[in-house]
Structure 1
Amino acid sequence: MLPKGANLQKIRDGRKTYAITPDLPGGFIKPDLMQKYVDVTKKYGGTMKLTSAQRIMITGLKAEDIENIWQDIGVEPALGFANCVRSVKICPGNAFCKRGKQDSIKLGLELDRRYVKKEMPSRIKLGVSACPNSCGESVVKDVGVIGTDEGWDVYVGGSAGSHPRLADRLITGLNYDDTLRIVDIVIQYYQKHADIERIGQFIERIGFEKFKADVLAEFYGEKSAETEPKVSQSEAGEKIIPRPGGLTEGNLVFGDPITEDSVISDIIRVYPQTIPVLRAFGMGCLGCPSSAGEPVQQAAGIHGINITELLAALNKVVPANN
């Protein structure tokens, strides 16, 4: 198991090093807390790294030091669950930037307060940009908002990673309160209907028009034509056809044994009962971009897991071997 609030960073000559990423909403930090970061990093021989999510990672740490580090720094971990709302990236907004058209800091910090660390079907990232320059990278976030002269435009389904996807524009010109309300509707709809998949993958599976129609019907208080989105191919017992940029790059079919070449996303989609097994071995981030193309043997090597033991545990719970 991973140490509390830590990520495995490297395995070199059998030695594992870890990183922690304390919660730092919007990247704002006061001098006294920054000094704690510096002191703790020196004390435990780590290195500080500014992340793309506007946080400060401390890396190069030993597993046995992690608990004491959290106590010394006095800040909570940035993650609650592997599959949760990860971060809200916030541009400086009209409080600090001459081009800002809206108050991104106010909106971004409220979104952070409401959603960060909340468990989700997969990881979620949010971005808030005060103008169309999109310094919050809103169009490559699962949910992104962009400020204009008319208000906030809301985008859904963006991601970067190994299968980048530009977000779809859902609605435009909202005020502050309505923006919060539509984001809440989007997240609740995703929680209710999605599999272990990013919002963009979920949209690809059910179609953007259906996603938009159901969400906007709830937003406008209309009678919803909402129906259950179509089941995934694995639930229907059909073969998953790999396609570039799609949900999977493997070819595992229901009834097949899991092998060292089976792709992680295939395994969890075809055999969802393997999810607790993977998590028990320390592979909790099952919706990350790497899972869509990473064979289990490669993932095991990265995490320092014995592939023979992992395969035995996985195949023990699949119908093909019971």
Structure 2
Amino acid sequence: MLKDGQKGVILQRDKKTYGIAPHLPCGLVTPEILEKIANVARKYNIPILKITSAARIALLGIEEENVDAIWDELEFDKGYAVGLCVRSVKVCPGIEHCRLAKQDSIKMGKKIDELYHGMTLPSKMKMAVSGCKIQCGENCIKDLSLYGTKNGWNLLVGGMGGLKPRLAEVLFEDLSWEDALDRVARTVAYYKTNSRRYRLGFMIDDMGIEAFRKGVLSASLNPIE
């Protein structure tokens, strides 16, 4: 029996079959990607395809003996749906498509995904990028996120759902593209270095948002791992 995360699988309720969630950066797909998923699902009689809250397409009910072949035929990177890491970066349509957007959330989201998806951390982390303050990326319940303003980007931290929901707080406002990436990097570095094995929001609750902000600004930047 495969363990959760091994070969990118999640054991299902029946304790016999598995789910996989290919990585689809920013939830963007093409007709070719959809056709490939559909063809694999038909070939291996996968009973359920589910669009997830992380904007992935999960394939559920896979027999263990088919896991390797399915990944080989899909030719996609594995999504980090479980584990102590950056699991997802949820992104709204952004300025190219939405009349309300103030910044290019897809461009920023792709960069954040490239830098952080799958990075090992003290606890799980979910990220988001939205083009405006309406936050269709659900920034308010993400551990770390950016949303666009007319002056740049606001950085939010500490949001989460679950048994003890917590709304995210504004850490920095009106950041340029470069400063937004810098503050995200410093926030991740500070959390990675100083946190116990708990979510970012609980760390902020323990130390206070002002102390956390000072810690982030003083954080040393190590190469992205």
Query: Which structure is larger by alpha-carbon Rg, 1 or 2?
Result: 1
Alignment correspondent of 1:7: 10
User: What residue identity is the alignment partner of 1:74?
Assistant: E
Secondary structure at the residue paired with 1:10? coil
CA contact (8 A) 1:53 1:88 kept: yes
Q: What corresponds to 2:135 in structure 1?
A: 134
In structure 1, the residue matched to 2:153 is 152
Cα distance in 2 for residues equivalent to 1:153 and 1:8: 37
Kindly tell me the number of residue pairs found equivalent between the two proteins: 216
Q: Measured at CA, do residues 126 and 204 of structure 1 come closer, stay the same or move farther in structure 2, by a change above 3 Å?
A: same
The yes-or-no answer on 1:197 pairing with 2:174 is: no
SS at match of 1:106: helix
Q: What does the per-residue CA deviation read over 1:240-280, in whole Å, with 9 as the maximum and x for residues that have no partner? A: xxxxxxxxxxxxxxxxxxxxxxxxxxxxxxxxxxxxxxxxx
AA at the equivalent of 1:16: K
Structure 1 residue matching 2:79: 3-state secondary structure: coil
| Equivalent residue letter for 1:7 | I
CA distance in 1, matches of 2:154, 2:95: 16
Inter-partner Cα distance in structure 2 for 1:72 and 1:217: 46
Q: Is the 8 A contact 1:80 1:117 kept in 2?
A: no
The farther-off stretch of 109-118 and 210-219 is: 210-219
Structure 2 distance, partners of 1:85, 1:205, is 22
Q: State the 1:217 CA deviation.
A: 4.1
CA contact (8 A) 1:157 1:165 kept: yes
**Mapped pair 1:184 → 2:185:** yes
Distance, in Å, in 1 between the alignment partners of 2:119 and 2:31 is 28
Q: How does 1:84-163 map to 2 (within 5 A)?
A: 84-163=85-164
- Per-residue CA deviation, residues 113-146 of structure 1 (Å, 9 max, x unaligned), is 0000111111111111101110011111110111
Q: Per chain length, whose mean CA-contact separation is higher, i.e. which structure has more relative contact order (CA < 8 Å, sep 6+)?
A: 2
- Which residue identity is paired with 1:100? A
TM-score (norm 2): 0.92
Q: 1:207 Cα deviation (Å)?
A: 2.2
> How far has the Cα of 1:218 moved from its partner?
4.8
Between the aligned partners of 2:81 and 2:42, the Cα distance in structure 1 is 26
Report the Cα distance in structure 2 between the residues aligned to 1:76 and 1:184, rounded to whole angstroms: 23
Corresponding position of 1:54: 55
Task: Assess if the C-alpha contact under 8 Å between 1:18 and 1:62 holds in 2.
Answer: yes
Greater than 6 Å deviation, 4+ residue runs: none
SS at match of 1:98: coil
Residue 187 of structure 1 aligns to a residue in which SS? helix
C-alpha distance in structure 2 between counterparts of 1:218 and 1:84, whole Å: 20
**Contact kept in structure 2, 1:44 and 1:65, CA below 8 Å:** yes
The structural deviation recorded for 1:206 is 2.2
Matched-pair contact (CA < 8 Å) for 1:21–1:78? yes
* Maintained 8 Å contact 1:80/1:118: no
CA distance in 1, matches of 2:209, 2:175: 20
The answer as to 2:26 corresponding to 1:26 is yes
* C-alpha distance in 2 between matches for 1:38 and 1:26: 20
Calculate the TM-score normalised by the size of structure 1. 0.65
- The residue type paired with residue 10 of structure 1 is R
Cα RMSD (Å): 1.5
What SS is found at the alignment partner of 1:110? Answer: helix
Match for 2:217: what amino acid?
L
| Structure 2 segments unaligned to the other structure (5+ residues) | 221-225
Where do 1:1-322 residues align within 5 Å? 1-2=2-3, 3-11=6-14, 15-46=15-46, 47-79=48-80, 82-218=83-219
Consecutive unaligned residues in structure 1, runs of 5 or more: 220-322
Cα separation, 2, equivalents of 1:19 and 1:217: 41
Residue identity opposite 1:97 in structure 2: C
In the alignment, the residues of structure 2 paired with residue 119 and residue 81 of structure 1 have an alpha-carbon distance, to the nearest angstrom, of 11
Whole-Å separation in 1 of the counterparts to 2:185 and 2:195: 15
